[in-house]
Amino acid sequence: MSIGQKSIFLVDDDVTNLARSNDSLGKSYKLFTMNSSGRLLKMLESHVPDLILLDVEMPELDGYETIKLLKSKEETKNIPVIFLTAHRDEESELRGLSLGAIDYIAKPFSPPLLQKRIEMHLLVESQKKLLLNFNNNLQLMVDERTKTVVELKNAFLGTMAELVEWRDGSTGEHIGRTELYMEILIDALQEHDSYKEEISAWDKTLVLQSAQLHDVGKIAIKDNILQKSGKLTKDEFTEIKTHVGFGEMVIEKIKQKTTERAFLDQAKILIATHHEKWNGNGYPRGLKGKEIPLQGRLMAIADVYDALTSDRPYKKALSHEEAIEIIVNDSGEHFDPDLVDVLLSVSDKFTEVSVLVSAEYGYIEALEEK
């Protein structure tokens, strides 16, 4: 027998049938004969054949019960089984096929016919395996391609957002910090009765990724305003506020050139509403209370907290305690009071974010210098 031969298990309690089958099949296949289902099950513990020829009428455990056992186990359920039986009635054949047999051959059988039936089924099984491997490899290729595209999208978005931040004197750390602040607040809201249902309908990953673009419109603002160290004039503040509308326009232009909607829709919500205030005195539309989408109300807290605790061209950083006090004092005016309560319940986690993000960006900068 050659190494490439297929292996077949023949199970029959009739010694004559075993000998006859061995003469007709032994030259073409690695044939293992056994006279009971018990021996078959024992043999399967150490070897998985390409096909099983299984007699139906056997003492102790018949062929029907045996195939039930085979199909119930992960390691044997895919082995093709052909029934060999003296029963020629339709009911018996239907029963065997319904239990998972691929064929039903009546005894006494013609050895050449049995050989051809086996060849046919082994060819079919071989083609099925080739097709399965092809599909698996194709799916792997699709998954890898999708992963590459997603990574490219995230890298592009992150870099674009960081470029905007660098223009007003901050770094990509602002993007990283606000995204983590948002995640802390969203996780806390999942335990909050008032917001649990709404939050559960979100794709959190999508919301957090889109948060990177909340200030993308600043790319249209002049450097002398973005980087001004003193207080802005009324006209300068009016120009600063236009970054929201410009950001929305950027998102709309991108939407016209892609079928991607969910990510861009979330980005537009965050861009358009994170400067709105609970009391209606925010911009650009003067939305009030829950007219402001929850995403925007959350980003308002994350963005203001980070602005307060960071050095900017026009101010020095405040402490965590000072920033929290300012936000609490603005509860019901600038911020959603319920969300301020949620912030207070997790504010200790905010103090860890700056260290984590600074370490990450410090590591990246160190790599770039090498």
Q: State the pTM of this model.
A: 0.58
Residue 126 burial (CB count, 10 A): 12
Sign of the C-alpha dihedral computed for residues 366, 153, 166 and 358 taken in this order: negative
Please say whether the beta carbons of 299 and 334 come within 8 A.
no
Look up residue 296 and give its DSSP letter. Answer: H
Would you say residue 245 has pLDDT above 50? yes
pLDDT at 302: 96
3-state secondary structure of 102: coil
Mean local confidence (pLDDT), 273-287? 96
Average pLDDT, the chain: 84
Please say whether the beta carbons of 22 and 33 come within 8 A.
yes
Please say whether the beta carbons of 225 and 232 come within 8 A.
yes
Would you say residue 346 has pLDDT above 90? yes
Mean local confidence (pLDDT), 237-250? 91
In this predicted structure, which of 9-18, 28-37, 206-215, 220-229 has the lowest mean pLDDT?
220-229
**Residues 224, 230, 236: CA angle, nearest 5 degrees:** 50
Distance CA 52, CA 77 (A): 12
DSSP H helices in the chain? 15-25, 37-43, 63-72, 90-98, 111-167, 173-189, 196-200, 204-210, 223-226, 234-255, 262-273, 294-308, 320-329, 337-369
Mean local confidence (pLDDT), 234-258? 89
Would you say residue 368 has pLDDT above 50? no
pLDDT band at residue 272 under the 50/70/90 scheme: very high
Distance CA 169, CA 162 (A): 11
Distance CA 310, CA 332 (A): 24
pLDDT band at residue 365 under the 50/70/90 scheme: very low
Instruction: Give the rounded distance of the alpha carbon of 309 from its chain centre.
Output: 34
pLDDT band at residue 181 under the 50/70/90 scheme: very high
**Residues 179, 180, 184: CA angle, nearest 5 degrees:** 120
Would you say residue 358 has pLDDT above 90? no
List of long-range contacts for 95-100, beta carbons under 8 Å, 24+ apart: 95/64, 96/56, 96/63, 96/64, 96/67, 99/64, 99/67, 99/68, 99/71, 100/67, 100/70, 100/71
Would you say residue 361 has pLDDT above 60? no
pLDDT band at residue 366 under the 50/70/90 scheme: very low
Mean local confidence (pLDDT), 159-164? 66
Distance CA 370, CA 362 (A): 13
pLDDT at 161: 66
Would you say residue 10 has pLDDT above 70? yes
Which tens digits make up the pLDDT trace of 79-118? 999 998 877 778 888 888 889 898 888 887 778 888 888 8
Would you say residue 370 has pLDDT above 60? no
pLDDT at 254: 83
Would you say residue 120 has pLDDT above 80? yes
pLDDT band at residue 322 under the 50/70/90 scheme: very high
pLDDT at 154: 64
Compute and round to an integer the Cα radius of gyration of the chain.
Answer: 35
For 62, half-sphere exposure in the C-beta direction (CA atoms, 13 angstrom radius) is: 8
Burial class (CB in 10 A: 0-12, 13-18, 19+), 319: exposed
pLDDT band at residue 157 under the 50/70/90 scheme: low
The residues facing 34 across adjacent strands are 11
Which of 257-271, 285-299, 302-316 has maximum average pLDDT?
285-299
pLDDT at 2: 45
Q: Which residues contact 333 (CB under 8 A, 6 or more apart)?
A: 277, 278, 279, 281
Span between the terminal Cα atoms of the chain, in Å = 61
DSSP string, 149-196: HHHHHHHHHHHHHHHHHHHTT--THHHHHHHHHHHHHHHHHTT-TTTH
Distance CA 296, CA 77 (A): 53
Please say whether the beta carbons of 228 and 176 come within 8 A.
no
